């Protein structure tokens, strides 16, 4: 008889180990297999900031958390129900976040005296009773993997590298995930290294068989597929969705996509992804620095292409003068800022929302730009398209504020029909006499997009102020005042959708207003609060400059407005200054997204003051 199978509605699993243990690959593969079963899911990869921290130390711990369920999932989970810890450092770094009764699977072979001392364990936690309130499975992941691969001509060190596949096989059995996709993935990945391929496949299958045969795991679990709208789905991360959105916008506009980028965590994956798609006419240029990257993108826009640059907060600081040039030249330019903790180098692999004021005001002179913010991973696709719409329609730089949580996290994405995407076709200035490069469209205030080499539309460019209509260099005070006000009016006049408020009762007195990646924790908290009988409204800003035209009315309607942010209150500052509304900030800068429990507690304090 087979082992009992327990039905669950959801589970959160965290894989944790040394940065060389392959936890990101392990988590990613488990996620892909979970997505193929139709579960809804959300992930949170967590990388060490050091390129290569000393092995077995707390600074080197890498983790990957996955929350999947038979219903709609909005966050990667507050705390793991299951922790897979590959060494003492992984256990110590994560144990404080585990609820009592959680399952812990550890590689007992790594709990040597030396490894315990590295992380400050005086006694072995597997033996001293400190883990008695958890369900602990001490498995010899290393020794079992080495034994399974003994038939291969690999050194012990080489064999040990496959222990993550043993762990993956065990969890695949434990939660009834399919095996074919991972086997196919490994076959493709290591097709030119047959010995490594054999080792990984054998370790993976051995881990699965271990779960099936050992008495240590008495039960397995099933989570039914989630009910989702009909369509074709794939799992997608925020950075990949951003890249696909840019490609789609390029195709729908008929413009060649040019990415000028300098690698920077956590934005580099957009460059990596776009470099794979030359068949769509995508050109990627890895520049020598941030200034050259944005300069090349602006030059591409001047030449009639869709100019894009990607970066993080430190790169935005370096790009500021060139973005200001884009404002003055009035050319379309898309800047993707995947925010991370700061200041300076800060927390390169951790998330934050602290660049809002920088992108709003961090340039010399009056130089407004449009600012957007996706709310979750797959929303990056839509916001990339929206950024291109605004940039090409109004001839302005547009900054998209993603962040590390959105960029690296993944979720199911319903692939849209191409015909459902907006038509972004662009009309360039045609050959004519007496061409006036700053003669504006009366509706959008956009100037013509003139391609160099087109007969009769030659004009000057550069960073000196332009004369209205003619584009000649002008030092006239009144002209400068007029041009500054016109550029500001153009951005302020960008058409964006009205803000939609989720207020089922219609009489809530508390509104939770978020932006960016706070969407998931806010939504999960509101859902639970309403289930507990609380009356609370929710809305989310995706357009930050200009604000939706009805934002003032929305703020006025609710006596109390809570604004959660992973900063010290930047959006709150903007709302107070523009609408004179004393909003209530809920702020953390810990390098981690809010948890649902934290959000619920913050809202409850306001609800019951």
Report the candidate in 243, 562, 274 with the shortest Cα–Cα distance to residue 377.
243
- The verdict on 186 and 279 lying in the same domain is no
**What's 15-39 look like in SS3?**
EEEECCCCHHHHHHHHHHHHHHCCC
Examine the fold and report which residue of 420, 439, 472 is the final residue of a domain before the chain moves on: 420
Q: Which two tokens stand for residue 386?
A: 């929206």
pLDDT tens digits, one per residue of 156-212: 999 999 999 999 999 999 999 999 999 999 999 999 999 999 999 999 999 999 999
pLDDT higher than threshold 70 for residue 259: yes
What percentage of the chain's residues is helix, strand, coil (to nearest 5)?
Answer: 40, 20, 40
204 and 240 both lie in a single domain: no
Asked if 245 contacts 380 with a C-beta cutoff of 8 angstroms, the reply is yes
Quote the pLDDT of residue 399. 98
Question: Is 463 contained in some domain?
Answer: no
Verify that 127 and 150 share a domain, yes or no: yes
Residue 466 lies in a domain: no
pLDDT band with cut points at 50, 70 and 90 for residue 1: low
Q: How far apart are the first and last CA of the chain?
A: 57
Residue 53 has pLDDT above 90, yes or no: no
Residues in the chain: 609
What phi-psi label fits residue 283: left (phi over 0), alpha (psi between -120 and 50 degrees) or beta?
beta
- The CATH number of residue 346's host domain is 3.40.50.970
- Cα 63 from Cα 76, distance rounded (Å): 13
537, 508 contact by CB (below 8 A): yes
Q: Residue 476 domain-assigned?
A: no
Q: Report the CATH number that the domain containing residue 37 is assigned in CATH.
A: 3.40.920.10
> Among 540, 542, 541, which Cα is nearest to 526's?
540
Distance, in Å, from the CA atom of 195 to the CA atom of 563, rounded to the nearest integer, reads: 54
Residue 440 lies in a domain: no
Between CA 68 and CA 65 the distance in angstroms is: 10
Asked if residue 298 belongs to a domain, the reply is yes
Flag whether pLDDT at 467 surpasses 70.
yes
Residues 271, 169 share a domain: no
State residue 490's pLDDT score.
98
Query: Both 207 and 293 in a single domain?
Result: no
453 within some domain = no
Residues 214 and 284 grouped into a single domain? no
Last residue of a domain, one of 193, 223, 253: 223
Judge whether residue 381 has pLDDT over 80. yes
Residue 11 φ then ψ, to 5°: -160, 150
Distance from C-alpha of 17 to C-alpha of 62, rounded to nearest angstrom:
6
- Report pLDDT for 49: 83
Question: Same domain for 307 and 250?
Answer: yes
Picking from 167, 192, 223, the residue at the C-terminal end of a domain is 223
Q: Is there a domain that residue 238 lies in?
A: yes
> Based on the domain organization, do 398 and 517 belong to the same domain?
no
Helix segments in 303-451, DSSP class H: 313-329, 356-361, 379-394, 404-408
Average pLDDT, the chain: 97
pLDDT at 609: 83
Show the domain range for 545.
510-607
Residue 2: what pLDDT?
80
39/168 same-domain check: yes
- Which whole number is the average pLDDT over 353-369? 97
For residue 590, tell me if it sits in a domain.
Answer: yes
- Is residue 64 within 8 Å of 27, Cβ to Cβ? yes
Task: Please tell me the predicted confidence (pLDDT) of residue 547.
Answer: 98
> pLDDT band at residue 321, thresholds of 50, 70 and 90?
very high
The answer to whether residues 65 and 13 touch, using CB atoms and an 8 Å cutoff, is: yes
Is residue 197 located within the same domain as residue 310?
Answer: no
Are 311 and 342 in contact by the 8 Å Cβ rule? The answer is: no
At residue 143, the pLDDT reads 97
CA-CA distance, 252 to 194, in Å (whole number)?
43
Kindly report the pTM of this predicted structure. Answer: 0.96
Please determine, for residue 51, whether its predicted confidence score (pLDDT) is greater than 80.
no
Same-domain status, 34 and 130? yes
* Environment class of 537 (CB within 10 Å of its CB; exposed 0-12, middle 13-18, buried 19+): buried
**185 lies in the same domain as 328:** no
Cβ-contact 421, 385 below 8 angstroms: yes
% the chain with pLDDT above 90: 97
Residue 57 makes CB contacts below 8 A (sequence gap 6+) with 89, 118, 119
87-114 mean pLDDT: 97
Domain count, the chain: 3
């Amino acid at each position: 008889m087979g082992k009992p199978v327990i039905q669950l509605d959801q589970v959160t699993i965290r894989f944790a180990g040394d940065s060389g243990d392959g936890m990101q690959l392990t988590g990613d593969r488990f996620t892909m297999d979970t997505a193929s079963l139709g579960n809804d899911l959300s992930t949170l990869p967590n990388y060490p900031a050091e390129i290569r921290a000393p092995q077995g130390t707390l600074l080197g711990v890498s983790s990957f958390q996955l929350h999947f369920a038979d219903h709609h999932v909005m966050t990667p989970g507050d705390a793991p129900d299951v922790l897979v810890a590959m060494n003492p450092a992984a256990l110590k770094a994560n144990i404080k976040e585990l609820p009592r009764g959680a399952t812990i699977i550890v590689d007992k072979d790594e709990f040597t005296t030396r490894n315990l001392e590295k992380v400050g364990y005086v006694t072995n936690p597997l033996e001293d009773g400190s883990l008695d309130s958890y369900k602990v499975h001490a498995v010899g992941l290393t020794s079992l993997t080495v034994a399974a691969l003994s038939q291969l001509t690999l050194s012990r060190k080489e064999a040990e590298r496959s222990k993550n596949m043993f762990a993956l096989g065990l969890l695949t059995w434990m939660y009834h995930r399919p095996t074919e996709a991972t086997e196919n993935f490994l076959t493709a990945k290591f097709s030119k290294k047959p010995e490594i391929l054999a080792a990984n496949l054998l370790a993976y299958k051995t881990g699965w068989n271990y779960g099936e045969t050992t008495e240590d795991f008495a039960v397995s679990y099933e989570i039914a597929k989630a009910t989702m709208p009909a369509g074709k789905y794939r799992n997608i991360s925020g950075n990949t969705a951003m890249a696909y959105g840019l490609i789609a916008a390029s195709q729908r506009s008929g413009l060649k996509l040019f990415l000028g980028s300098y690698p920077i965590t956590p934005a580099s994956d957009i460059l990596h992804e776009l470099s794979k798609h030359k068949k769509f006419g995508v050109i990627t240029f890895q520049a020598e620095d941030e200034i050259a990257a944005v300069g090349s993108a602006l030059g591409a826009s001047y030449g009639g292409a869709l100019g894009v640059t990607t970066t993080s907060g430190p790169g935005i600081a370096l790009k500021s003068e060139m973005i200001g040039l884009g404002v003055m030249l009035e050319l379309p330019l898309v800047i993707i800022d995947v925010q991370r903790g700061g200041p300076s180098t800060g927390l390169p692999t951790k998330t934050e929302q602290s660049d809002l004021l920088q992108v709003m005001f961090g340039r010399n002179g009056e130089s407004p730009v449009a600012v957007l913010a996706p709310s979750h991973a797959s929303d990056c696709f839509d916001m990339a398209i929206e950024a291109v719409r605004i940039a090409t329609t109004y001839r302005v730089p547009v900054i998209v504020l993603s962040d590390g949580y959105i960029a690296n996290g993944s979720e199911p994405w319903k692939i849209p029909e191409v015909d459902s995407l907006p038509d972004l076709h662009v009309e360039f200035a045609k050959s004519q006499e007496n061409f006036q490069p700053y003669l504006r469209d009366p509706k959008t205030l956009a100037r013509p997009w003139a391609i160099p080499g087109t007969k009769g539309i030659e004009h000057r460019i550069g960073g000196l102020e332009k004369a209205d209509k003619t584009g000649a260099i002008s030092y006239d005070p009144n002209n400068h005042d007029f041009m500054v006000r016109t550029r500001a009016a153009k951005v302020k006049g960008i058409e964006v959708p009205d803000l939609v408020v989720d207020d089922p009762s219609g009489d809530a007195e508390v509104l939770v207003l978020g932006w960016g990646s706070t969407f998931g924790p806010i939504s999960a908290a509101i859902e639970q609060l309403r289930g507990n009988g609380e009356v609370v409204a929710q809305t989310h800003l995706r357009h930050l400059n200009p604000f939706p035209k009805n934002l003032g009315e929305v703020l006025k309607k609710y006596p109390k407005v809570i604004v959660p942010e992973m900063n010290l209150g930047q959006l709150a500052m903007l709302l107070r200054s523009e609408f004179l509304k004393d909003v209530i900030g809920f702020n953390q800068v810990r390098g981690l997204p809010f948890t649902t429990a934290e959000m619920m507690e913050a809202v409850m304090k306001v609800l019951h003051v």
